[in-house]
Amino acid sequence: MNWLTDITPPGIKKMFRAQDDQQALWTRCPSCEQMTFNRDLEAEQMVCPNCGHHHPITPVMRLFHLLGEEWERLELPETPDDPLKFKDTKPYPARLKDYRKRTGERDALVVGKGMLGERAAVVAVQNFKFMGGSMGTAIGEGLLTAADAAVDAGAALIVVTASGGARMQEGILSLMQMPRSTIAVQKVREAGLPYVVILTNPTTGGVTASYAMLGDVHMAEPGALIGFAGPRVIEQTIREKLPEDFQKSEYLLDKGMLDRVTDRREMAAELGNILSVLMAPTGAVQRELPEPIAEATTQPANDAAPEAAADELPKAAE
């Protein structure tokens, strides 16, 4: 406590505490600068009711809004905390400990399974608040686990991306997750199941260069930044001014790189419609043709009973 705090009158202290409490109840939109009551913002799935700006959302909240109340969390394999003994301004294990305390998650991926309408789905969600959603061995293992779960359950695999790219603290091990995540996608494809990607703000780096662009269907939230290198890096490299909406989801939709740009509040319904086209309802039994019809369709009409056809011909006169 400093000298200024010591001499501050109790009334002034109370006023500042009241302001802090008020700020905890309200959120200012960075797009329209309007204040929204947090309870109202959460009811809108963290989408600004004034301008439609999509605020960050936690993985658990996203899974709840996509899969409903009865979704089940998948346990992901634990990976080594410091395989390369890496240290920058602080040791890598210390960074992990800090982010685990902030987010309550072990790493930057949360996987849940449940139902989207009448279709089973496994949904893997990246958490940008955990080291920028960076891709390390934990995400690689998590995606392989999600793919195996989808194949075992005959479910669609849906990945919600949010990442700044590879995790530098894991070096080459991080880059190895690009082919490993591709293997995860291939497992789902070989099983004949859909793989859908939802790109959110931001999706960049090695994530964009691997599993984020391998979907059967690519969807994105409005205004999401999507690309490999960021626009600032590109401008400095080519020394040219880029279009204002360059690498935004609407720009990529116009250029044919995305299939849909969908408001978060409509995402569950949109995904349900897409999965209803790509796969049969979970638990549905494929109806077989009745036996007589199945037999009739196995041989052409012209080949039916040649002996009987010969009997119908007039006999030659003796």
Exposed/middle/buried for residue 215 (C-beta within 10 Å: 0-12, 13-18, 19+): buried
18 is an annotated ligand-binding site residue:
no
29 is an annotated ligand-binding site residue:
yes
Specify the pairing of strand 26-28 against strand 35-37.
antiparallel
Q: How far apart are CA 188 and CA 196, in angstroms?
A: 11
If you count them, how many residues does the chain have? 318
Neighbour count for residue 318 (Cβ, 10 Å): 3
What are residue 120's phi and psi, to 5 degrees? -75, 145
48 is an annotated ligand-binding site residue:
yes
Binding-site members are 29, 32, 48, 51
Binding-site members for Zn(2+) are 29, 32, 48, 51
